[in-house]
Structure 1
């Protein structure tokens, strides 16, 4: 038994709760090392004479990555507290107890065990309940639809007449989105995520001029309110993009600092290295060293109050349902804690989503964000389907690691994406192979989390790195891949009809070989199986677990009787009632 590889801490993804009467505990151990993992637990004050009263229960195996096996168990807490240790048995029958103070041959005294002293309501983490059932659609407003040509800025090009550049405009606006809400409803979308819509200079609007005004190119506050109302009438939530890390060059406080230097009352709104400001040398902190995006000083009380007013304003004025937080890891924790308190006081079930590309546990402890954009999920997808640097086994291991990075309560609200305005389109990443894209969408829409579709991917749009990924949406159906549309539409409908495919159940990779990836979704009432054939040949599988299952959906060449015959680059979704 390799004791050095056993990992557990009484916090974060290892110890968490979604209610006041239960706790979920996770532990990691060297892959293949442990034959049986048990949890010993009990109330620290529950004694019979001098003997502590405890229960022993099996930990549940929940998957493996390249180094570790993972185990998880949810236990009841009658008195909101517990002490616990782990009993490990190796393949030779040798046992050891693992507690907060180390390893022991027998169960140590209560004071040496891991402790949950008392579970308070503030320590129970839960994202808004509606999020786990939401299918998002990301819209880059300038390129989705032109609904009011009177708003077009000077020099606006004919819709889709040229390739996108960092500087050109095509006239997309909020009325264009309103005009196509029925299209989103038909697809099955229940949430819209907008990239910035506030007054800004660029076509991408990440260089804000005024956070309290809608960009004139997009419409007015009344237009946004109409859009939100129309979306809500169709069962669609609306989330806006908050760019609070930095402002734009034309933001009035920054212009004041440029003009007045030391005499400016806004000197402490930013991070100047010296004054006067020098745009050529960029002698001030700026996002990505871009002179036109000066970093805001969110520790300044005036800046903080201004931005918190922005957060409240659009909830109160237009009824938006959430905020996506741009470059969230570059803003201080204290600001985000205040932001969460402010937003939740105005709308308790508002969704707070951080843009962080790496391990995000420090922001997911219940005092800041509800979730983050799941870029590790995207990375694993691209490495298997695009660069093909991952074998199926390695993909399963990497996805299992992603799945155990955060508490399961967080995973249900994780914003799973396969592309955005910051990445090449998924069809381009897959070198135009639509079969790969269909397989990717099969995974996206049957995986734990809340999935997001980047506008146009559902009809086969292509495009390279920014600005190539920001083409105009083609509205002529003759220019759309309707077969791809129907595939995405079918998967969304299945996700809604069969909750086990969404967030009702757990997830475990159960069958992996050199060409096939298969994972199981488990719930109290049913199991579902998702299979992907990455090979260039038809694959016949006889899987004992799938006996008695029915075929929910597959590509036309795939069949299922006693065995599953899955076509090359095919997919299948099966379900078995319990």
Structure 2
């Protein structure tokens, strides 16, 4: 066995409290290098005259990626504490691995040899809001969803959907338009709305905030917003707002004061200014988002800035009862700010959802003291490469998502935010070269994957669009311009997610089979005694698969499938799928 590939650390995604009684332990080994792994474990204070008392318990192979296998065990130690190591087997070879390295047999006389889980303190359990696991989100870009009150239209507002979206044009989307179409969302099965920024700003996208305490007048006033939130809650829909705390807008009054008064400004330390006077051309001499002179970076370490932004975080929950915050450019803000942000938010609304926009490995933010979840872009990119762009085969996709799932604790994965597209990306149908069958397979994968899914407005009716700003077209409300068949398809998937416990986030995800040759993927979602098999075949040829079981129900067609010697032989048509409850 390759010792260099064997890895464990007694924290984060390798050893964590899943709930107040259960500890999860994970071990990494070289792929296909180990046949069996047992956890060697016991209470650190359980000794007799022969030495430390321990037992062996089998671990199971949870997942594999391109290089490694990941083994997992879920254990309930009677006194909520553990000393532990691992026994690895390959044929006649046995290897014991613990904190001090490798040996042939587990020592009985040296407790310091083993890994330590000192005590499962309930306060240390990662807890994210339970309701999120059953939520299907819908992302709304307010300026482009619906215009319900023309009296609010900014100067120069264009007739709805009369032109292509551009960086500077306006079509008058507002809160009243959203209120007018809430029944559309209820009918689709949506029970969570994620709004891009709604606060007063100069642009149409509103990521350049002028006033964090005021709604942009083109959307309506606070009374209308309160009405919108209340109506959504009555219909079982939660509301999540977008917080841009990494940077403000150019017209944010404190930044305008710095432009005017330079180093005499009371707000000069609210930003990261390298020299005075402040300049925006040819490039800014202050820190900004992506070198953009119109988005100066806020100094969240400054006590006044911190106090102001935490007041913002509290205000919209206390006054309007919003249910969550999505945090823009979250990885560029200091960790201490997010720790205090969480304390502020959770003190007011313990089950508020805190979601960070991070595109890379996010474990430092997901240890229970900052975010409840992050936007799962690694899943997004892997799914699009596999089913939209055809640049990755099924085996490569399986490796990528397995690596992502094993990068975090299971209770983190259960509320991660899964998206196929957003206001920042090309629309999914455009990425699929207008192949709607590919879009269907992507929706199936997204809505059955571990985590909470989000649909970008209009994707369910086959809207198209390239990169920003083309992905921000006006929502099409004329049913003659909507793909009602695709909408019905998405609606049916959402209904299955809600009615079949294993289908949604309560179900444990596992790859069963993936092929680089036929390009098909088979995975299961299991919950209690229920197992659902998903077969995705994006190839141009039919495939046959065999799974274990006595009988099964095709959840999509309702047809029964009989077994032959406890084996179910199934055919998946080209560019199609199967959903089978065994």
What aligned pairs does 1:120-159 form with structure 2 within 5 A after superposition?
Answer: 120-159=121-160
Q: 1:549, 1:307 → 2: CA distance?
A: 54
1:428 is aligned to 430
Q: 1:57, 1:24 → 2: CA distance?
A: 13
Contact 2:572–2:578 (8 Å) recurs in 1:
yes
SS at match of 1:192: strand
SS at match of 2:471: coil
Q: 2:560, 2:296 → 1: CA distance?
A: 57
Q: 2:151, 2:49 → 1: CA distance?
A: 83
Alignment partner for residue 539 of structure 1, among 539, 543, 553? 543
Alignment of 1:351 onto 2:353: yes
2:420 is aligned to 418
Q: 1:312, 1:188 → 2: CA distance?
A: 29
Per-residue deviation at 1:49?
Answer: 2.9
SS at match of 1:553: coil
1:284 is aligned to 286
Per-residue deviation at 1:120?
Answer: 2.0
1:441 is aligned to 443
Per-residue deviation at 1:121?
Answer: 2.7
Per-residue deviation at 1:329?
Answer: 0.4
2:64 is aligned to 64
1:566 is aligned to 572
1:375 is aligned to 377
Alignment of 1:551 onto 2:557: no
Contact 1:559–1:565 (8 Å) recurs in 2:
no
What aligned pairs does 1:272-421 form with structure 2 within 5 A after superposition?
Answer: 272-280=273-281, 281-421=283-423
Runs of 4+ in 1 over 6 A off after TM superposition: none
Q: 1:16, 1:70 → 2: CA distance?
A: 15
Contact 1:44–1:83 (8 Å) recurs in 2:
yes
SS at match of 2:375: strand
1:163 is aligned to 164
Q: 1:559, 1:48 → 2: CA distance?
A: 57
1:450 is aligned to 452
Q: Which moved more, 1:498-507 or 1:44-53?
A: 44-53
SS at match of 1:291: coil
Contact 2:31–2:66 (8 Å) recurs in 1:
yes
Per-residue deviation at 1:250?
Answer: 0.5
Per-residue deviation at 1:566?
Answer: 1.6
Per-residue deviation at 1:390?
Answer: 1.0
1:12 is aligned to 12
Per-residue deviation at 1:547?
Answer: 4.2
Q: 2:349, 2:106 → 1: CA distance?
A: 47
Alignment of 1:526 onto 2:530: yes
What aligned pairs does 1:172-211 form with structure 2 within 5 A after superposition?
Answer: 172-211=173-212
SS at match of 1:193: strand
Contact 2:382–2:401 (8 Å) recurs in 1:
yes
Aligned residues: 572
1:497 is aligned to 499
Flag structure 2 segments of 5+ consecutive residues without an equivalent.
564-568
Contact 2:552–2:560 (8 Å) recurs in 1:
no
Aligned-CA RMSD value: 1.3
Q: 1:426, 1:49 → 2: CA distance?
A: 66
Per-residue deviation at 1:299?
Answer: 0.3
In 2 relative to 1, CA 278–469 (structure 1 residues): closer, same or farther, beyond 3 Å? same
Contact 1:392–1:515 (8 Å) recurs in 2:
yes
Contact 1:423–1:464 (8 Å) recurs in 2:
yes
Per-residue deviation at 1:77?
Answer: 2.6
1:30 is aligned to 30
1:257-314 alpha-carbon deviations (Å, 9 max, x no partner): 0000011000000011101101113100010111000000000000000000000000
1:379-416 alpha-carbon deviations (Å, 9 max, x no partner): 10111123312111111111111111111000000000
Flag structure 1 segments of 5+ consecutive residues without an equivalent.
none
Q: 1:538, 1:116 → 2: CA distance?
A: 50
Q: 2:173, 2:136 → 1: CA distance?
A: 23
Q: 2:541, 2:352 → 1: CA distance?
A: 47
